[in-house]
Amino acid sequence: MNGNPSDRPPLARQGTDYGETSDVQEVHAAIQREKREPRVGLEPLSIWLIAVYGLALFLGGAYLGRYSGNFSGDSLDPLGGPPPAKKGAVGPGGGEQQVELSPHDRGKKIFSANCQTCHQANGLGVPGQYPPLAGSEFTNGGSRRMGMIVLKGLQGPVTVKGQKFGTAVMQPWDKTLTDQKIADVMTYERSEWGNNASPVTKEQIAALRKELANHPESYGEQDILAAPDEDIPGGGEAAAPAQAKPGEVTKPAPQPKG
């Protein structure tokens, strides 16, 4: 026990009586020499400090006011101001676009907005990843298979023009594009980049959509190849391109089980 008076540092109080309690803990020298617990003085604030506070508040507040972009959720720009004007609102030829666009041209707009990122503007796709549409057997074949792919999407490995693809998933477009739009974009794809296949009408797409209504989302290559390589029945307006396909690309064998 730390009981020897001679060991205590001179500042400790003498006469500690440990006999008060029988099982008191050993009072370590560290505790003995400790000063009292901290307490707080009451000095007043300095006027200079208040000046510093004022300056800080002013700077902070000024910064907040200046760079907050009107506190609006749309202002990404700290200097505020409305978001930039919509494009095309003051297009020079905007008013003249009253001419009815052909399905091909409508399809081109839809293509560049939706399909171009993957299949690329030149329809060549990305090797290993996004199949080409130019010269593809699916694009040039019957519109049924192509329609199935566009409506319901495609996943898993697929071979197009002899090359394998499989890293990307094609999303279904049945929920995001109307029948007319799907028809237009397919028409565009089937007549662009050297492709020469029959156009597609919205009635055909509507019929196909109804036919596939119960099908789960995405197809795999087997499903597509299992379907007959024909045009969707009900196609009315067979515009200029002939049904016969010039033989630049051969059709793949319809039987998957070889």
Partner 1 sequence: MNPAIDIPLKEPAITAAAGDAEQVERALIDASTRVPVLMFYASAVAWLLIGTLLAGLVSFEQHSPDWLSNMSFLTWGRLRPVCMNIMVYGWASMAGMGTAVWLMARLCRTTLRHPLLIVTGAWFWNIGVLLGVGGILAGDSTGHQWIEFPPYAAIVLFVAYALIMSWAVLMFRFRRGEQIYITQWYLLGAFLWFPWLYAAAQLMLFATPVQGVMQAAVGWWYANNLLFLWLGAIALGTAYYMIPKVIGRPVYSYHLATIGFWTYALFSSWTGMQRLIDGPFPAWMITASIAATILTIIPVATVGLNHHMTMQGYFPVMRYSPTLRFTVFGAMSYTVFSVVGILISLRSVARYVNFSEASIGYTNLGLYAFFTMVMFGSMYYIVPRLVGREWRYATLIKLHFWGSAYGIGLMSLMFLVGGLVQGANQENAAMPFIGSLESVLPYLRGVTLAAFLLTVAHFIFAFHFGLMLLGLGRTSTVPTFLNPVEAEGTEAHL
Partner 2 sequence: MKGLFPLLIGLFGTFAFSWLGLTVVPNFQIGHLDPQSDEDGTDIYPMPKSGMVERGRHVYVANGCIYCHSQQIRPGYEAADIDRKWGERRSAPRDYIFDRPVQLGKERMGPDLSNLGKRAPAEESAPTTASAPTNAPSATTAANPAASSPPPPPNASPAGPAVSNVAGEPLPYSAAWHHKHLYSPRSVSPDFRDSNMPAFKFLYEKRLIEGERSADALQLTGAEAPPSGWEIVPTYDATCLVAYLMSLDQSHPLKEVKSSGSPAASAAASAAPPKGAK
**Residues within the interface to partner 2 (CB under 8 A):** 72-74, 76-77, 83-84, 86-88, 91, 94, 97-101, 106, 109-110, 112-114, 117, 120-122, 124-129, 132, 134-135, 155, 157, 159, 161-164, 167-169, 171, 176-178, 180-181, 193-194, 202, 221-222, 225, 250, 252-253, 256-258
Please give the backbone phi and psi of residue 57, each rounded to the nearest 5 degrees, phi first. Answer: -60, -40
Contact range with partner 1 by CB under 8 A, out of 35-43, 88-96, 166-174, 193-201: 35-43
Contact range with partner 1 by CB under 8 A, out of 11-19, 102-110, 116-124, 203-211: 11-19
Q: Which of partner 1, partner 2, none has residue 121 at its interface (CB below 5 to 8 Å by kind)?
A: partner 2
Q: Which residue from 1, 5, 19, 25 is in contact with partner 1, where contact means CB under 8 A?
A: 25
Q: Which residue from 35, 86, 87, 257 is in contact with partner 1, where contact means CB under 8 A?
A: 35
Work out whether 78 is an interface residue with partner 1 (CB under 8 A).
yes
Minimal distance, residue 155 CB to partner 1, in Å: 24
Q: Tokens 């019957």: give the residue.
A: 142
163-165 vs 158-160, strand pairing mode: antiparallel
Work out whether 70 is an interface residue with partner 1 (CB under 8 A).
yes
Identity at 228, one-letter amino acid code: P
Work out whether 100 is an interface residue with partner 1 (CB under 8 A).
no
Query: Residue 31 and residue 80: Cα distance in Å, rounded?
Result: 61
Q: What CA–CA distances, in Å, run from 6 to 10, 57, 103, 195? A: 9, 59, 108, 108
Q: Which of partner 2, partner 1, none has residue 21 at its interface (CB below 5 to 8 Å by kind)?
A: partner 1
Total residues contacting partner 1 (rule CB under 8 A)? 58
Work out whether 51 is an interface residue with partner 1 (CB under 8 A).
no
| 252 contacts 226 by C-beta, under 8 angstroms | no
The greatest distance separating any two alpha carbons of the chain, rounded to the nearest whole angstrom, comes to 118
Minimal distance, residue 208 CB to partner 2, in Å: 18
Please spell the DSSP secondary structure of 137-195, one letter per residue.
HHHHS-HHHHHHHHHH-B-S-EEETTEEE-SS-BPP-TTTS-HHHHHHHHHHHHHSTT-
Q: Which residue from 3, 72, 243, 254 is in contact with partner 1, where contact means CB under 8 A?
A: 72
Query: Residue 152 and residue 118: Cα distance in Å, rounded?
Result: 17
Task: Please name which of 211, 155, 218, 215 lies closest in space to residue 179, comparing C-alpha atoms.
Answer: 211
- Torsion sign over Cα 136, 137, 138, 143: positive
Binding residues for partner 1, per CB under 8 A? 7-9, 11-13, 15-17, 21, 23-46, 49, 52-53, 56-57, 59-61, 63-64, 67-80
